[in-house]
Structure 1
Amino acid sequence: MTQTRASADGGRRAPGRGARRTDLAAFLRSRRERIGPEDVGMPPGPRRRTPGLRREEVAQLAGVGVTWYTWLEQGRPINASPQVLDAVARTLRLDPAEREHLYALAGVTRRPVAVDPAEGLPEDVPAILDRLDPMPAAVVSARSDIIAWNRAYATVFWCVPRVPPSERNTMWLAFTMPPCCNPIANIEEQAHESVAIFRYRYSRHMDDPGWKEFVQRLCAASPQFARLWATQDVAPPRPCDKVFRHPAVGEIAMRSTGLDLTAAPGLRMIVYNPVGEQDADRIAHLLAHPREAAAALPDHRH
């Protein structure tokens, strides 16, 4: 593993960094001292004067130089890459909260690790989704994979329950569903900004093969997406105005708001708020008359 080099600032520390380095040194020592050599498959060796692993043992297990790790634990002003800190964190068996604390103390910006949808949602999230009815709401990943949704969302974005799980992605559905079956009425108006926001999220996952493969598939499936993706435009996430179309009631105008789930990094809850009373009434009508709503949907397949 490539090590980082000591800072060339002659030992000078930026204002405010001294206290953070002191905290970093104390934190690393405390985490090192709680792990015994037998915990990592190393022989206990001769009698130890202090508990836990020695500094050279941590360095060896993490694949970094002894001098570099010693300086890090001493709070010296050296630089550390996320990859090297990841190795130290694994060696010290840090949990997610401890890892984030380590990166903050080291002054390293680290992207949160996305939750694996297979591991399930935090236990309160499904109940929150249900209680948001009649406001449509869903939980999606950073890549816009639809993980869970409530009854109102399935009623308005009616194609979601009808497609295979591999296609339950808001970007995929928006750009590949033909006009006759696309529940988003203003896709032409929203397309450019949607792709720019998606690139903003993509830039934080560029090393993930799954993201690259998804973009390639979507470019192949949608000439419109491919053309907009080629512009290289990027925009930060923000609330968006969307107009849904349901054959039973017509158009429903809503504003979407994304809420990050702190208990599940990488996931966010999208909540749709009806713009006017007529829009709210149309959602209420669909929910009150599910058979009528279902009977009005297209019965053909693409």
Structure 2
Amino acid sequence: MPASPSFGAYLREKRSRLDPVASGFPASRRRTPGLRREEVAQCANISVTWYTWLEQGRGGAPSSDVLDRLTKGMKLTELEREHLYMLALGRLPEIRYRQADAITPRLQRVLDALTYRPAIVKTPLWDVVAWNKAAAAVLTDYSTLPPDQRNILKIVFGTPRVRAMQTDWDNLARSVVAAFRADIVRAGASTLVDQLIDELSACSPEFSALWQQSDIESHAEGTKRLVHPTAGLIELEYSGFAVEGRSDLGLIIYSPATLSDHARVAELVDHFGR
């Protein structure tokens, strides 16, 4: 099935905006702005004929490999790459995992604005790369952990304090592993996944046993009940969201389930760090 006619038009429009000099071509006089078809084909490492057909809507739908070559060759952003996939294949691309050390200051301000709602940002490997004060007060103070230990599975299976806070640790562990399995299939970071699984299996026989199962579960929303050492029982409702422009990151927001839960969370947050 050929790609949408809009796909060829999108390629032509993006090609017209490319700077020849920035793309490594001489600043010669050109009849039209942007790159020539053969130059885009060269940048994307595909044949000129195939690229021409793509612009003309001939030759069928391109493969994911070709779309990624075009993304790289035309220097598209992640959002533009997603749009390219939707026009060509009618679906979003698979998540491309990339290690993230930080988020944008703007997103951090969003987290900080959630004063009494714990919130974290995680990667597909469940490394926590950002959090707010409420998350540190109620869940885990990630700032006290080395960066390579800020991983939800390492915390769940390797931290006795966190385990003791769970009202039903066995069910939580099963659910976490099932949701993690679903995330990493989309991430495609096989080497890093294998390293993490080997590390977790070596440290936790319970994780190893759960990993041998084939359960898959969504972590989009649900309820979390924990017993905080000082505040007592707290029930939180959580929802997961994609981070716009960063399909490899996920935002999880926990909201107190009742007014009493809100009061306990507020007390923890207000006294945190004092």
Q: TM-score range by the shorter chain?
A: 0.7 to 0.9
Once residues 262 and 160 of structure 2 are traced to their aligned partners in structure 1, the CA distance between those partners, rounded to angstroms, is 26
Once residues 239 and 36 of structure 1 are traced to their aligned partners in structure 2, the CA distance between those partners, rounded to angstroms, is 45
Output the aligned Cα RMSD: 2.8
Once residues 184 and 58 of structure 2 are traced to their aligned partners in structure 1, the CA distance between those partners, rounded to angstroms, is 35
Larger Rg: 1
Once residues 39 and 180 of structure 1 are traced to their aligned partners in structure 2, the CA distance between those partners, rounded to angstroms, is 51
1:198 corresponds to 2:180: yes
Question: Who is 1:242 aligned against?
Answer: 224
Distance 1:221 1:64, change over 3 A: same
1:59 corresponds to 2:52: no
Shift of 1:104: 1.5
1:26 counterpart (4, 9, 13): 9
Residue 118 of structure 2 aligns with an amino acid whose one-letter code is P
Task: List gaps (5 residues or longer) in structure 1.
Answer: 1-6, 8-12, 295-302
1:98 corresponds to 2:80: yes
Question: Who is 1:284 aligned against?
Answer: 266
Counterpart mapping for 1:169-180 below 5 A: 169-178=151-160
Once residues 53 and 68 of structure 1 are traced to their aligned partners in structure 2, the CA distance between those partners, rounded to angstroms, is 16
Q: Comparing 275-284 with 144-153, which one deviates more in the overlay?
A: 275-284
Q: Deviations over 1:100-134 (max 9, x none)?
A: 2222111153134457533x423332232223222
Distance 1:53 1:137, change over 3 A: closer
Secondary structure of 1:60's aligned partner: helix
Q: Is the 8 A contact 1:141 1:267 kept in 2?
A: yes
Q: Is the 8 A contact 2:96 2:187 kept in 1?
A: no
Q: Is the 8 A contact 1:157 1:183 kept in 2?
A: no
Q: Is the 8 A contact 1:243 1:254 kept in 2?
A: yes
Question: Who is 2:92 aligned against?
Answer: 109
Distance 1:125 1:39, change over 3 A: closer
Task: List gaps (5 residues or longer) in structure 2.
Answer: none
Q: Is the 8 A contact 1:115 1:264 kept in 2?
A: no
Counterpart mapping for 1:144-293 below 5 A: 144-158=126-140, 160-178=142-160, 182-290=164-272
Shift of 1:198: 0.8
Residue 245 of structure 1 aligns with an amino acid whose one-letter code is V
Q: Deviations over 1:125-146 (max 9, x none)?
A: 2232223222222222222211
Distance 1:53 1:215, change over 3 A: same
Q: Is the 8 A contact 1:205 1:211 kept in 2?
A: no
Once residues 230 and 52 of structure 2 are traced to their aligned partners in structure 1, the CA distance between those partners, rounded to angstroms, is 69
1:35 corresponds to 2:2: no
Once residues 192 and 209 of structure 1 are traced to their aligned partners in structure 2, the CA distance between those partners, rounded to angstroms, is 23
| Structure-1-length-normalised TM-score | 0.78
Shift of 1:285: 3.3
